Amino acid sequence: MTAFNFTSLLSSRAADAKPLGMNKRGKYDFAVAYPDPETLPLDGLVEGLRKGLAEDGRDLALYAHPQGYTPLREFVAAKLQRDRNIQITADDIILGDGSGQPIHMIAETLLDPGDVVIVEDFVYSGTLNTLRRFGAELRGVVTDDEGMRTDSLESVIQGAIADGKPPKFIYTVPTFQNPQGWTMSLERRKAMVALCQKYGVPILEDDCYVDLRFEGQDVTSLHALDDTGLVMYVASFSKIIAPGMRLGYLTAPKEILQRAMGAKSGGSVNTFASFAVHRFAQDNLMSHIETINDVQLEKRDAMLAALDEHFSEPGVSWSRPQGGIFIWLKLREGVDAAAIRDKILATDDVGYHPGSNFAADGVSGKNCLRLCFGYNTPEEIGEGIAVLAAALRREGVL
Ligand SMILES: Cc1ncc(COP(=O)(O)O)c(C=O)c1O
C-alpha cells in the first residue's frame, strides 16, 4: 500500500516543518539557556510534591481551575506585588506551560499577518519564531547597554504609523536581556512607557530573568511605571527552579487576559507540577534564588576571566551582565560565526548561538555569539572558552 499523504490537506496556517529530535549538545554547552543543574532543588521539589499530594492530592481527580492551580497563582500575585510593584490578584493571572505558551497566546490574540511588532535589534529567538509564525513583520530598535534607545524606538514607531501599520505591540526583555545581557535603565523604561502612552502602543514585558541578579540594584518593572493598563507581563519558574517544570505566567488587563484564556489550549497547566513548585516556592524560593545567584556569579566571573585571557584581539568586545545567564560576544565586523557554528560543535565540542539567530531582521549579528554561562562548572567554562578561542582563530574569525 502506498503511504497516506497529508500534504494536500495541510492548513494554510500550518507551521513550517521542524526537524524532530534533539539538537546535539557540546561538552562545553554555551548554547542553550540552562540553569545550573547542580543546584536544582530536587529534594525540595520532592518534599513540596509530597506535601501538596497530602494536602490537596484528591484534587487531581478534577480538571483544575482553567487559569491554573489557585494557590500557585496566589503565590505569584504576592511575589509580583512584593518584588515588582505589580498590584494584582490571583484572578489577574493565567499560568502557562512556561512563559512560551503565554507569549504564544498573546501573539495569537493580537496578530494578523503583516502586523508590525517592535522588538530589540537582537532578542530571544523563541519569541521571534512565535511572532513570525503569526505573520508579524518584526521591526528592530537599536540598543546599547541601557536597552532600546529612545530615539530609535520613537522613529520605529513613527515609521510604522507612517506606513499605515501602527505597531501592535512592543516585545521586550528589559532585565538581563536574552541574548545581550544588559538591563534597561529606569530612565529608558520611563521613556518607553511615555512613548507607548503617547502613540497608543502596548508592551509585552518578558521578565523571566529578573530574579537572577547577583550585582547592582533592581530596576522598576515597566508594568509598575504605567498607569494606563498598556503593559502585558510574562515571567516563568524555568530560570529560578527548572525549565522541566514547564510553569510560567501571564498577567494583562482583563480584556486581553480573557482573550488569551480563549487562546489557551490544553486546559489548565499541570497540577502535579504546580503542587511541587507551589509548596517548594512558598518555603524556599527566596533562599534558593540566593544560592543560585551565588553560583551564577562565580560562573559569570569565570567566563569574563577566560574572555579577558583568550579574546584580547582588537575589535572584540563582550557584555558584563549583572545577572541572568548570558554574555554577548562581538567579534570584529564582517566575520561570520554562524557559518562555522556546526563545525565548531562537531570538532571542538563547544556550543554557542550565533547572533543572527536573535536578529529582528534574521541576518544581522553574524559576528556575534551568545554565550550562556548557566550550565557548565566554572572550571569547564574556563576550558571551554579557551577551546572556543582556539577554534575561532583556526577558522580565521578571531
Ligand atoms: C526571554 C525568554 N522568554 C521566554 C523564554 C521561555 O521559557 P519558558 O517557556 O521555559 O518559560 C525564554 C527561554 O529561554 C527566554 O529566554
127 and 30 fall within a common domain: no
Q: Which residue has a Cα nearest atom 15 of ligand 1? A: 124
106 and 196 fall within a common domain: yes
**178 in ligand 1 pocket by Cβ < 6 Å?**
yes
Number of alpha helices (DSSP H) and beta strands (DSSP E) in the chain? 11, 15
- CATH number, domain with residue 363: 3.90.1150.10
Is 10 inside a domain boundary? no
- CATH number, domain with residue 208: 3.40.640.10
154 and 217 fall within a common domain: yes
What pLDDT shows up at residue 221?
A: 98
What pLDDT shows up at residue 35?
A: 85
Contact predicate 303/385, CB 8 Å? yes
**125 in ligand 1 pocket by Cβ < 6 Å?**
no
Q: CA 313, CA 326: separation in Å to the nearest integer?
A: 21
335 and 263 fall within a common domain: no
**175 in ligand 1 pocket by Cβ < 6 Å?**
no
Q: Which residue, of 262, 282, 302, is where some domain finishes?
A: 282
Q: CA 116, CA 138: separation in Å to the nearest integer?
A: 6
- Assigned C-alpha cell, 150: 529612545
Helix (H, G, I), strand (E, B) or coil at 118: strand
| Ligand 1 centroid – CA 99 distance (Å) | 6
DSSP assignment, residue 35? P
The model's pLDDT over 70-123, given as tens digits with 9 standing for 90+, comes to: 999 999 999 999 999 999 999 999 999 999 999 999 999 999 999 999 999 999
47 and 177 fall within a common domain: yes
Q: CA 90, CA 93: separation in Å to the nearest integer?
A: 5
Q: CA 259, CA 346: separation in Å to the nearest integer?
A: 45
184 and 50 fall within a common domain: yes
Contact predicate 96/250, CB 8 Å? yes
- Assigned C-alpha cell, 73: 497563582
320 and 250 fall within a common domain: no
Is 14 inside a domain boundary? no
How many other C-beta atoms are found inside a 10 Å radius of the C-beta of residue 51? 18
What pLDDT shows up at residue 60?
A: 94
Q: Classify residue 298 as exposed, middle or buried by CB count within 10 Å of its CB (0-12, 13-18, 19+).
A: middle
Phi, psi of 95 (to 5 degrees): -80, 140
**Tens of pLDDT along the chain (398 residues)?**
899 999 999 998 898 898 888 888 999 999 988 888 899 999 999 999 999 999 999 999 998 899 999 999 999 999 999 999 999 999 999 999 999 999 999 999 999 999 999 999 999 999 999 999 999 999 999 999 999 999 999 999 999 999 999 999 999 999 999 999 999 999 999 999 999 999 999 999 999 999 999 999 999 999 999 999 999 999 999 999 999 999 999 999 999 999 999 999 888 999 999 999 999 999 899 999 999 999 999 999 999 999 999 999 999 999 999 999 999 999 999 999 999 999 999 999 999 999 999 999 999 999 999 999 999 999 999 999 999 999 999 999 99
| Ligand 1 centroid – CA 100 distance (Å) | 6
Q: Which residue, of 255, 282, 309, is where some domain finishes?
A: 282
**Domain extent for 105:** 43-282
> Residue 132 region, left (φ>0) first, then alpha (ψ -120 to 50), else beta?
alpha
| Ligand 1 centroid – CA 189 distance (Å) | 21
348 and 220 fall within a common domain: no
318: which residues sit within 8 A by CB, 6+ positions away? 304, 307, 311, 327, 328, 329, 330, 371
What's the whole-model pTM score? 0.96
Contact predicate 247/333, CB 8 Å? no
What pLDDT shows up at residue 32?
A: 86
Find the helix packing angle between 378-394 and 271-310, rounded to 10°. 60
Domain tally, the chain: 2
**177 in ligand 1 pocket by Cβ < 6 Å?**
no
326 and 248 fall within a common domain: no
Is 106 inside a domain boundary? yes
Q: Classify residue 180 as exposed, middle or buried by CB count within 10 Å of its CB (0-12, 13-18, 19+).
A: buried
H/E run at residue 75: helix 70-84
What pLDDT shows up at residue 280?
A: 97
300 and 228 fall within a common domain: no
Q: Which residue, of 226, 255, 282, is where some domain finishes?
A: 282
Is 374 inside a domain boundary? yes
